[in-house]
Amino acid sequence: MRRSAVALLGQRARRRWLHLIVGGALFMPFWMVGSVVVGAFLGAGGLFAGSLAVQFGAYAVGLPLVAVAALFPLARPMSVAAARALCGVPADRFADGPAQGPEAKGRTAGWFTLHLGAGALISGATLALPPFAVSVMALPFSAALRESELGRFWGLDRPWWVWAAFPAGLLMLLGLAATAAATGALLARGAPRLLGPSPADRLAAAERRAAEAESRNRLARELHDSVGHALSAVTLQAGAARRVLDGGDGADLAFVREALTAIEETTRRTVGELDWVLGLLRHDEDAGEGPGPGPGLDALEALVRGAGPEVALTVSGDLAPVPETLSREAYRIVQEGLTNAARHAGGEPVSVRLDARTEEWEIAMENPLPARPPAARPNGGRGLRGIAERARLLGGTAEAGPADGVWRLVVRIPR
74 lies in the same domain as 121: yes
229 lies in the same domain as 170: no
- Listed in sequence order, the residues at least 6 apart from 204 whose beta carbon sits closer than 8 Å to its beta carbon are 97, 100
Query: Looking at the whole model, is its pTM more than 0.85?
Result: no
Torsions phi, psi for 292 (to 5 deg): -70, 180
Which run of H or of E encompasses 79? helix 75-86
Q: Are β-strands 406-414 and 350-355 bridged in parallel, bridged antiparallel, or unpaired?
A: unpaired
220 lies in the same domain as 317: yes
59 lies in the same domain as 208: no
Q: Which residue has the higher pLDDT, 256 or 334?
A: 334
271 lies in the same domain as 124: no
Give the mean pLDDT of 143-169.
69
Ranking 48-62, 236-250, 344-358 by mean pLDDT, the lowest is 236-250
Question: Residue 190 — very low, low, confident or very high, per pLDDT cuts 50/70/90?
Answer: very high
Ranking 65-69, 306-310, 315-319, 393-397 by mean pLDDT, the lowest is 306-310
pLDDT at 180 over 90: yes
pLDDT of residue 288: 45
pLDDT of residue 289: 47
Q: In what order do the strands lie in the sheet with 311-316?
A: 311-316, 350-355, 360-368, 406-414, 397-403
CA 58 – CA 415 distance, rounded (Å):
68
Give CA separation, 339 vs 226, 380, 381, in Å: 10, 14, 11
Q: Which domain holds residue 306?
A: 204-414
237 lies in the same domain as 311: yes
**By the 8 A CB rule, do 101 and 199 touch?**
no
Give the mean pLDDT of 14-43.
88
pLDDT tens digits, residue range 281-295? 666 554 444 445 567
Q: Residue 329: which CATH number?
A: 3.30.565.10
223 lies in the same domain as 184: no
Question: Residue 224 — very low, low, confident or very high, per pLDDT cuts 50/70/90?
Answer: low
| pLDDT > 90 fraction of the chain, expressed in percent and rounded | 23
Domain C-terminal end among 197, 230, 265: 197
191 lies in the same domain as 262: no
pLDDT at 253 over 50: yes
pLDDT of residue 400: 86
pLDDT at 31 over 80: yes
pLDDT tens digits, residue range 364-408? 988 888 766 555 554 555 677 878 888 887 888 999 888 878 888
Q: Which residue has the higher pLDDT, 107 or 320?
A: 107
> Of the candidates 266, 184, 176, which has an alpha carbon nearest to the alpha carbon of residue 15?
184
Question: Residue 300 — very low, low, confident or very high, per pLDDT cuts 50/70/90?
Answer: confident
Ranking 42-51, 77-86, 182-191, 388-397 by mean pLDDT, the lowest is 42-51
pLDDT of residue 63: 94
Domain C-terminal end among 170, 197, 224: 197
**By the 8 A CB rule, do 367 and 308 touch?**
no
Average pLDDT, the chain: 80
218 lies in the same domain as 345: yes
pLDDT of residue 287: 43
**By the 8 A CB rule, do 126 and 180 touch?**
yes
pLDDT of residue 294: 66
pLDDT at 154 over 90: no
Structural domains counted in the chain: 2
pLDDT of residue 48: 52
167 lies in the same domain as 235: no
pLDDT tens digits, residue range 32-47? 888 888 877 776 555 5
Domain C-terminal end among 171, 197, 223: 197
212 lies in the same domain as 192: no
169 lies in the same domain as 309: no
| pLDDT > 70 fraction of the chain, expressed in percent and rounded | 78
- Listed in sequence order, the residues at least 6 apart from 247 whose beta carbon sits closer than 8 Å to its beta carbon are none
Q: What is the DSSP letter of 74?
A: T
Question: Residue 68 — very low, low, confident or very high, per pLDDT cuts 50/70/90?
Answer: very high
